[in-house]
Amino acid sequence: MHSACRFVAVFLLCLMAADAAACAAITKKGTVCKRPASPGSAYCWQHGGSTKAERDAAYVKTQANEPAAEQAKAAAEASVLTVARIVDGDTLVLSNGVTVRLIGIDAPESHESEKLDKDAERTQQDKATIKALGKRCSDHLAGLCKGEKVTLQYDQTKEDVYGRVLAYVHLADGTDVNAAMIKNGYAYCYTKYPFKRMADYRDLGAFARAGKAGLWATEDKPAVFDEKAAVEQAKAEEQSATAAVYKLNNGTTIKAQRVMEVDSDYLLQCMDGKWCRVPKRDVKEVQGASVEK
C-alpha cells in the first residue's frame, strides 16, 4: 500500500514538473536556469524565496551576474559602430546615439549657430555663403563614412565641454576619416588644443592648400577656414624648413627652432615649443644651427 502511494505521489510530481514553466532566472554562469519553476512562481526553488517579492529580487540579482568575458565581448562588439547621421563637416552621430566630434579638425558651419555668426564677422562673408561651404563639407564627410562601420580612437581628452565624444574615426580599411577631411580640403587642422596627430594633420593641410583641394580652390574663397590656424600652420612650416637638426649618437634626430649653449650642453627649443637639454657629447651631427649666446 505504501509503495503504491509512493508511486502515485512520484507520478503526480513528475506531471507537475512536466507542465511547469521553466525557471526564468539567469544563473551566475550567464545561462538560463533549466529547472521547472515552483508552483505560483516564475522561478525554481533554488532561485526563489518564501515570497514572490523575494523571488523577484533573487531574479534581478542573478541578472547582474553575467561573466566578465560576456561583458567584455559586448563591449568589443559595441566598439564597432555604424555612422548613422552627419551633423556637419566635423561632427557625426553613431548608431548608438553617441555624438562624436572629430579630433584635430574644424569645418565651416552648415547650421545657424554662435560660431557661424563669429565666422561671418571674422571673414566678412555672409552667413549663406558660409553655410553653403559647410554643406559641401558635410556632404563630403557623409560620402566618406555615412552608413559605414567605424571604430574610435581617443587622445588625451575623451569629451568636450558640450558632452560630445572626442575621437579619431577609422573606417574598416584603416582610413583616418579626420585626416581625409583635411587632405581632401574640406576641413583644416584645428590647433587650439594639443593632440597627438597635430604635426601630421598640419602637413596634410599644407598638401591640400598647395593642391587647391576642396575648399582651398581659388573660386571657393577659403577665408572661411580659420585664418589664424592657417597663419600658424604656415609659420610652423617655415620654421620646420629652417630648423636646426641635431642628430644624436643613439640615432635620435631633434629639430630645433632655437638653440642656446649652457655650459657643456645645448638647450634646444623643439618644434612644439618645448625645451630640452642635450649634452654636447651626445650630439653626433648638427645641420643648420645658429646658436644664441
Q: What tens digit of pLDDT does each residue of 240-279 get?
A: 666 788 888 888 888 887 787 777 888 888 877 788 888 9
Considering the domain architecture, whether residues 95 and 40 belong to the same structural domain is answered as: no
Considering the domain architecture, whether residues 87 and 156 belong to the same structural domain is answered as: yes
Whether residue 68 lies inside any domain: the answer is no
Whether residue 46 lies inside any domain: the answer is yes
* Residue 14 belongs to domain spanning: 2-63
Distances in Å between the Cα of 153 and the Cα atoms of 29, 103, 258, 263 are 32, 10, 34, 43
Mean pLDDT of all residues in 95-101: 93
**Whole-angstrom Cα distance, residue 207 to residue 143?**
21
Whether residue 70 lies inside any domain: the answer is no
Whether residue 97 lies inside any domain: the answer is yes
**Whole-angstrom Cα distance, residue 224 to residue 128?**
12
Considering the domain architecture, whether residues 140 and 227 belong to the same structural domain is answered as: yes
Considering the domain architecture, whether residues 225 and 112 belong to the same structural domain is answered as: yes
- How confident is the model over 147-203, as pLDDT tens digits? 999 999 999 889 888 889 999 999 999 999 999 999 999 998 988 888 999 989 988
Whether residue 69 lies inside any domain: the answer is no
What single-letter DSSP state applies at residue 164? P
Q: Which residue has the higher pLDDT, 233 or 206?
A: 206
**Whole-angstrom Cα distance, residue 5 to residue 11?**
10
Considering the domain architecture, whether residues 142 and 88 belong to the same structural domain is answered as: yes
Considering the domain architecture, whether residues 101 and 140 belong to the same structural domain is answered as: yes
Mean pLDDT of all residues in 98-108: 94
For the domain that residue 205 is a member of, what is the CATH number?
2.40.50.90
